[in-house]
Amino acid sequence: MKRRLFILWFIIFLAWALYRANFFNPDWIDEFIVKPLIFVLPVLVVNFFVERQGLVGLGLSAPFKNLLIDGYIGVVLGVLFAVEGMFANLIKYGTFSFTPLLQFHLAGGVGLFLLINIATAVSEEILARGYLYNRLFTLSKQQFWAALVSNLLFLILHIPIIFSRLHLSGFSIIMYPATIVILGFTNCYLFTLRKSIVLPILLHTFWNMTVALYL
């Protein structure tokens, strides 16, 4: 299973890198169409037809069972990520600047911005926590090692967008990967605690929205 996991991740990474290098579509195409095809579809095929694990294999067996509690926890942790984003915003601009958020608003409105962030969180969490971390933890029984390796793979998946779309430099090129790692470890432990991918998706959505403050 471990070999299959790394092969699947490499195929996904290669497909994503090639797409990023050759296509520059609007965000909604990337998040609603391309990522589900590249990130999610291969995982679903392996999970359901090769490993035959069903929804439980991705932490989706009872997504609405503890939704209220997950929502409360997600809001609390989301506020902490928002504070982190505001602090990073202050460091980058020397004062609180909401220009990045305004640019997103002008690009498509708050509603589309939120939907895109949710779509991103769903695709990336199914791959990173529901599949990669879940399998590595099941195989190794070592939570920290599983979180570390899955987060490294998750971080590498973001390299194409760093160089093809975001063009980060200075403070942002340090802060962006650092917060990806923080989010990754947090969501790995939350996934194990809640035995569900719902809370990681909620927190990832909050993180996506606060990242705009310092990019």
d(CA 80, CA 95) in angstroms, rounded, equals: 19
Side chain identity at residue 25, one-letter code? N
The model's pLDDT over 15-55, given as tens digits with 9 standing for 90+, comes to 999 998 899 898 899 999 999 999 999 999 999 999 999 88
Q: What residues contact 174, with CB distance under 8 A and at least 6 apart? A: none
CB 100 within 8 A of CB 215: yes
pLDDT in tens, the chain (215 residues): 778 999 999 999 999 999 988 998 988 999 999 999 999 999 999 999 999 998 889 998 776 677 778 887 888 887 787 777 677 666 666 666 666 555 555 456 667 888 888 999 999 999 999 999 999 999 999 999 999 999 999 999 988 777 666 666 666 677 788 888 999 999 999 999 988 999 999 999 988 877 765 55
What SS3 state is found at 195? coil
Q: Among 208, 205, 146, 155, which residue's Cα sits nearest to residue 180? A: 155
DSSP state of 39: I
Which tokens go with 21? Answer: 């290098």
pLDDT at 187: 95
What SS3 state is found at 76? helix
d(CA 187, CA 1) in angstroms, rounded, equals: 22
pLDDT at 93: 63
Residue 24: phi, psi to the nearest 5?
Answer: -130, 70
pLDDT at 164: 67
Above pLDDT 70, what percent of the chain?
80
CB 10 within 8 A of CB 127: no
Which tokens go with 43? Answer: 């995982």
pLDDT at 100: 56
